[in-house]
C-alpha cells in the first residue's frame, strides 16, 4: 500500500473545472510566495507549479466569493458542503457561530489556514486529473512562463536572457511522463518503448521551451521522438491532442 494514495474525489471535478476555467481565462499566479515560486520553477519539484496554482487560485476565488456573495452563505446549513470537505480531509476548522462571527466572509478569514490546508490536499486529486491533459498543460505553462518572465530570479538560476537554466530531468519525472504518454511520441505516435522499434530515440522536452521562459517543472515535460523534437525547436510552445484510447473503437 505504500505506493498507493487514497483519493476521495469529493467536489474534485468542481475544483478541476474552476482551475481549467481560470487557465482558459488566463488568470495569472496571484498572491503567491515569490521565493517559493522561484524555487519550484527553477528545479524539478514534486510540489509542482500546478499544485501551487490550484491552491492559490482556489483560495483567491473563494475568498472573493464569500465576500461578494454573502447571501449564499448566510446560514450554517449553507456551509454544510465545506464542513463535509473539512471532515473528509481531516482538517480542523471553526464552525460558523453568528454570536461571535458577523458574516460568512469573516468566517472564511477566520478559517484561512484551514481552507489553505484543504486546497493543498484537494490539489493532489485535481493534479491527478489535469496532468493527463496536455492541451491544458500547454495553456497553464504559458501562464507560468509569463510569471517567470516578470519575476526577478537570482542570477545563478537564469541565463543572460533571463530564462531559467536547464537542469537534468529526474528519473521520477521521466517515468511519470513516459507512462502518461504510453511510451509513444505525443506528435507522431512513434513507439519509444524499445519493444517494437529499437532505433527510435526518446526525448523528454519542455512543452513551453526554457528559451521562451518555460519552467523546469514536471507539468512542462512531454515525451517525443528525436525527429519531432528537433522540428519543434524553441520557436513556440507545442503539444498535441492525440491520446492512446483504453480500447479500440468499433
Q: What is the pLDDT of residues 19-75, one digit of tens each?
A: 999 999 999 999 999 999 999 999 999 999 999 999 999 999 999 999 999 888 777
User: Rounded to 5 degrees, what angle do the CA atoms 194, 215, 2 make?
Assistant: 60
pLDDT at site 1:
44
What residue spans of 25-103 are helical by DSSP H?
34-42, 49-68, 80-88
Report the chain's mean pLDDT, rounded to a whole number: 91
Q: Which CA distances in Å does 77 have to 73, 96, 100, 101?
A: 8, 10, 17, 15
pLDDT at 160 exceeding the cut of 80: yes
Higher pLDDT, 93 or 70: 93
In the chain, CATH 1.10.30 sits at 153-243
pTM of the entire predicted model: 0.93
For residue 222, what is its C-alpha cell? 512531454
Count of beta carbons in the 10 Å neighbourhood of residue 25: 8
Q: Residue with C-alpha cell 498507493? A: 4
Are 190 and 231 a contacting pair, CB within 8 Å?
no
Are 212 and 141 a contacting pair, CB within 8 Å?
no
Q: Tell which CATH architecture fits domain 153-243.
A: Orthogonal Bundle (1.10)
Average pLDDT on 164-174 reads 97
Which range has the worst mean pLDDT, 11-25, 135-149, 170-184, 234-248? 234-248
Collapsing DSSP states into helix, strand and coil, what is residue 221? strand
Q: How confident is the model at residue 99 (pLDDT cuts 50, 70, 90)?
A: low
Smallest CA-to-CA distance from 137 within 46, 240, 39 is with 240
Q: How confident is the model at residue 140 (pLDDT cuts 50, 70, 90)?
A: very high
pLDDT at site 95:
87
pLDDT at 2 exceeding the cut of 60: no
Which range has the worst mean pLDDT, 109-113, 210-214, 225-229? 225-229
For 180-218, the pLDDT digits (tens) are 999 999 999 999 987 666 556 789 999 999 999 999 999
Give the best-scoring range by mean pLDDT among 73-77, 93-97, 167-171.
Answer: 167-171
pLDDT at site 235:
67
Amino acid at each position: 500500500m505504500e505506493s498507493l494514495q487514497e483519493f476521495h474525489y469529493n467536489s474534485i471535478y468542481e475544483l478541476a473545472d474552476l482551475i481549467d476555467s481560470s487557465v482558459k481565462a488566463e488568470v495569472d499566479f496571484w498572491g503567491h510566495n515569490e521565493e517559493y515560486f522561484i524555487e519550484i520553477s527553477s528545479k524539478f519539484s514534486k510540489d509542482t507549479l500546478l499544485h501551487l496554482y490550484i491552491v492559490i487560485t482556489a483560495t483567491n476565488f473563494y475568498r472573493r466569493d464569500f465576500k461578494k456573495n454573502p447571501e449564499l452563505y448566510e446560514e450554517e446549513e449553507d456551509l454544510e458542503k465545506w464542513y463535509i470537505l473539512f471532515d473528509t480531509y481531516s482538517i480542523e476548522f471553526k464552525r460558523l457561530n453568528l454570536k461571535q462571527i458577523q458574516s460568512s466572509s469573516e468566517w472564511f478569514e477566520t478559517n484561512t489556514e484551514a481552507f489553505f490546508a484543504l486546497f493543498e490536499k484537494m490539489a493532489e486529486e485535481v493534479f491527478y486529473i489535469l496532468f493527463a491533459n496536455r492541451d491544458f498543460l500547454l495553456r497553464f505553462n504559458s501562464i507560468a512562463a509569463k510569471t517567470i518572465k516578470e519575476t526577478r530570479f537570482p542570477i545563478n538560476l537564469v541565463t543572460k536572457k533571463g530564462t531559467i537554466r536547464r537542469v537534468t530531468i529526474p528519473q521520477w519525472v521521466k517515468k511519470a511522463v513516459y507512462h502518461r504518454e504510453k511510451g509513444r511520441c505525443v506528435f507522431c505516435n512513434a513507439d519509444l518503448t524499445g519493444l517494437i522499434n529499437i532505433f527510435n530515440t526518446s526525448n523528454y522536452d519542455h512543452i513551453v521551451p526554457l528559451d521562451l521562459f518555460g519552467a523546469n517543472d514536471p507539468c512542462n515535460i512531454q515525451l517525443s521522438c528525436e525527429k519531432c523534437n528537433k522540428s519543434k525547436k524553441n520557436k513556440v510552445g507545442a503539444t498535441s491532442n492525440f491520446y492512446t484510447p483504453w480500447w479500440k473503437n468499433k
